[in-house]
Structure 1
């Protein structure tokens, strides 16, 4: 039995074993079973027995870390050898390295986590659209440069926010496309000495395909960087939205639900919107912790593994957890809280609509520069006598209803434009749901095929061929 140094055992072996045992074991069995199936197809002795042994063994929990097996792979190997013999245990190792095996397992695990996160993001976007519909036409004043700027409506604002998160959804999908490639069959780095079909291995595991170059398959770290960058973008989007909600909560325009607010230990009158603060902490982690992925890939040879495999996995697992927390907390904050329309509009004043007075004068034939000077001179209050227009005419022109009605451009705040934007956003959300369901279905199908064995896989392939021919 290896006698590992206590420090190495604590900070590396035991820690990694515990994470793998809790999170990665199903993916190890998937990858090993797929590889054994491929070896059995090639006629490697005892490989078919290894497939059956792996299927039986995965139903039993692996032992905790004792130091006898340095990692989960060798723990599985030890169990195979003990119960099915050394030859069966050795059959599945023909041409297999922990390099391609671990990277395959890590990518499969991360793929599942990203798919789950995309589901969380989809649900969050759905809530945004529901809130937009529920608050259609509710006016509010938004600021630019931290000063009141122009009126809009709450649904117009929320539709803009949803559009931002729809792009985050797209960035995560593109990162997933890079991630969703199989290293299996790359062996240590030069490729398996057995003629395994790497495309078939990828299909067995539900990947879109293999990472083509076998060195790239085990040495690349950019899949982690791309995913981290997409998560950082999501964190920035969440943080900006949370900042607005906290600003409105500060003046009572957004009232956080009782189940999400905490009181003060000293001031009995306070109900603090802490759910948004905690959500902002998680969003901040998405930005800050991303830097570790860059450093793991900086100045490392294009062969080193732990920096951009185990190290990247730990960082990405933390980022994905933070993303889930930030999304879920922000979503329930929306679902369990309420907006106060009167307070959303408390910054409305004639000055906020001064640009409308300029437009009125221009429409009456006043040159733009002169109209701008006149309105500036009529402030505060936009006094009609200084503009040369009738008071009733100015009041009618500068009303909110007219302001919104004049803005029926694509994506504008006009009632018709908002209705059309909501319809487009719902359609986009529906399409994203279908695409996400297709990705999940591919993974589920792969797992069913693994459970059927090579005959089931061949039958499925034959069925597909028949369908295509028909």
Structure 2
């Protein structure tokens, strides 16, 4: 008979039992469930709801169960439905009738809400460390390419010259924001729901703050209905994970492009590439492609959670059991992707010569030509037109702006002088962009320093 089966006259249908059970995936909450139960038992004794002797027996029994699970000596039972009932059943079997007192003043509704918060808090700490690892990889390769000129793109068309360092540091900023979202999410989820009961607390004189402090929470939830039915923190976390994957996917897309023969900007290490079963020459960027592909399953987790919650009346509903598989899979996917992506990035070989050549193609210095005329006194719109005409002239002549003679320049405007060649030099085009956030060496060095400071500051926490 189930621990909750007193009012039932029949055993649960075997198919329903399998359908209802969640132990196949919520077993991973065992540590949180046991630690939460230990804190609950201590609080019950402190409030004179159970005796101190009973509390000691319960705590020792729970510690023994934790040790047995971690030693691989426990087989979880589908009949016990979930991790909570599995642990409680094991406790009763281990210490007898005293074990039945553990659930006093508690429901599985607030129990699972507690366990899941504790679990995802721990996972956020792991994610933060992985993002710092990725930021270290970005910093390393960026700092080695401060002078590596490459074309910047809009619409995937060559636009203006930048540096590879500048390009990489854009992703550094994205992942800093991802890190901050995890920090913010952690703050909002760091309140304890235990004591909310099934939905309306309990008549026992519980000390919710004692449990919260014991388990490292900043506060307790202020409404028991909300305490057991809130899954905002899971949705918010999965949203943050989806944004992380979007950033990784954008980065992956560029890596896939950069290592093609058409771009040739980078070469991936053999250890992070695969071959073809039929084409001997192939070296495929499968890691980046898989990261790009796995983004969809994390998006799917977010949609699952939002859809699951959108029509639920207060308070707890069994639908909410579906939260775990979605967030567990999203967490597992993102952790794996960040980890392997960081290692792949740290081994990339940069073809700086090819990047420089590519920046010299496609008239990436055209805007600098327009700026040159503006500084000579021409209105920008007129300067834009003149350089546009020059670009068309170069296309017809199959040449570059910087390869035109001074006489050819003057044929379009008398404002051109021999210093136009200095203005069109790619290195100068980059170095003159000293505006905060720009690609000049002075600017990217500030960006590098900021990223280094961020990494060191957060590693100390």
TM-score (norm 2): 0.88
1:182-220 Cα deviation digits (max 9, x unpaired): 111111111132222212211111122222211111011
C-alpha contact 1:248 1:344 (8 A) present in aligned 2: no
Distance 1:187 1:336, change over 3 A: same
Q: How does 1:96-107 map to 2 (within 5 A)?
A: 96-107=106-117
The 8 Å contact of residues 113 and 320 in structure 1, kept in 2 or not, is answered as: yes
Higher mean C-alpha displacement, 205-214 vs 100-109: 205-214
Q: Work out whether residues 274 and 283 of structure 2, in 8 Å CA contact, stay in contact via their aligned partners in 1.
A: yes
Q: In 2, are the aligned partners of 1:114 and 1:176 still within 8 Å (CA)?
A: yes
What is the deviation of 1:162? 0.3
Task: Kindly state the Cα deviation for residue 132 of structure 1 after the two structures are TM-superposed.
Answer: 0.8
- Residues 357-368 of structure 1 mapped to structure 2, 5 A cutoff: 357-368=369-380
Matched, 1:374 2:374: no
1:394 matched residue in structure 2:
420
TM-score, normalised relative to structure 1: 0.87
**CA-to-aligned-CA distance 1:335-387 (integer Å, 9 cap, x gap):** 12212112223332372111111111111122222222221221223342333
Q: Which residue of 2 aligns with 1:404?
A: 430
Residue matched to 2:24: 18
Q: Distance in 2 between matches of 1:415 and 1:256?
A: 26
Describe the SS at the equivalent of 2:384: helix
Q: How much does 1:108 deviate?
A: 0.9
Instruction: State the alpha-carbon separation in 1 of the partners of residues 362 and 329 from structure 2.
Output: 49
| 8 Å CA contact retained: 2:158, 2:362 | no
Separation in 2, partners of 1:293, 1:71: 20
Match in the other structure for 1:304: 316
Residue 390 of structure 1: how far off its partner (Å): 5.6
Map of 1:2-13 to 2, 5 A cutoff? 3-13=11-21
Aligned partners of 1:172, 1:131: CA distance in 2, in Å?
A: 25
CA contact (8 A) 1:375 1:387 kept: no
User: How many residues get paired?
Assistant: 430
Match of residue 69 from structure 1:
80
Cα pair 1:95 1:187 within 8 Å, conserved: yes
Q: Distance in 2 between matches of 1:171 and 1:401?
A: 37
2:348 is equivalent to residue 342 of structure 1: no
After superposition, the C-alpha distances for 1:51-94 in whole angstroms (9 at most, x for unaligned) are 233223322237424455333323322333233221x1122221
* Equivalent pair of 1:4/1:67 in contact (CA under 8 Å): no
Match of 2:41 among 36, 47, 59: 36
Residues 104-143 of structure 1: matches in 2 within 5 Å?
Answer: 104-143=114-153
Once residues 319 and 428 of structure 1 are traced to their aligned partners in structure 2, the CA distance between those partners, rounded to angstroms, is: 26
For residues 92 and 319 of structure 1, the distance between their equivalents in structure 2, rounded to whole angstroms, comes to 33
Does residue 425 of structure 2 align to residue 425 of structure 1? Answer: no
Q: Contact conserved, 2:249 with 2:295, CA < 8 A, in 1?
A: yes
In structure 1, the residue corresponding to 2:183 is in which secondary structure?
A: helix
- Is the 1:282–1:325 contact (alpha carbons within 8 Å) kept by the matching residues of 2? no
Cα gap change, 1:268 to 1:53, in 2 (>3 Å) = closer
Match of 1:445 in 2: none
Structure 2 unmatched ranges of 5 or more = 3-10, 395-399
Aligned counterparts of 1:55 and 1:345: Cα–Cα separation in 2: 62
Cα distance, 1:290 vs. partner? 1.4
Cα deviation 1:30-70 (Å, max 9, x = unaligned):
01100000011122222333223322332223742445533
Give the corresponding residue for 1:206: 216
User: Does 1:50 find its partner at 2:61?
Assistant: no
Which sections of structure 1, spanning at least 5 residues, go unmatched? 438-470
Superimposed CA distance per residue, residues 365-422 of structure 1 (whole angstroms, 9 cap, x where no aligned partner) = 2222222222122122334233335674221111122212211111111111111111
Once residues 285 and 72 of structure 1 are traced to their aligned partners in structure 2, the CA distance between those partners, rounded to angstroms, is 25
**How much does 1:315 deviate?**
0.5
| SS in structure 2 at match of 1:10 | helix
CA distance in 1, matches of 2:277, 2:362: 42
Change in Cα spacing, 1:18 to 1:157, as seen in structure 2 (3 Å) is same
Alignment match of 1:261 (pick from 264, 273, 276): 273
Q: Is residue 332 of structure 2 the alignment partner of residue 321 of structure 1?
A: yes
Residues 288, 42 of structure 1: alpha-carbon distance in 2 compared, 3 angstrom cutoff: closer
Output the aligned Cα RMSD. Answer: 1.9
Q: Contact between 2:110 and 2:227, CA under 8 Å: does it hold in 1?
A: yes
- Alpha-carbon separation, structure 2, partners of 1:405 and 1:60: 63
Q: Secondary structure at the match of 1:263?
A: coil
- 1:82 corresponds in structure 2 to 93
Structure 2 CA distance for partners of 1:313 and 1:66, relative to 1, 3 Å: closer
Q: Which runs of 4+ in 1 moved over 6 A?
A: none
Asked if structure 1 preserves the Cα contact closer than 8 Å seen for 2:199 and 2:316, the reply is no
- 1:121-200 mapped onto 2 (5 Å cutoff): 121-200=131-210
8 Å CA contact 1:252–1:343 kept in 2: the answer is: yes
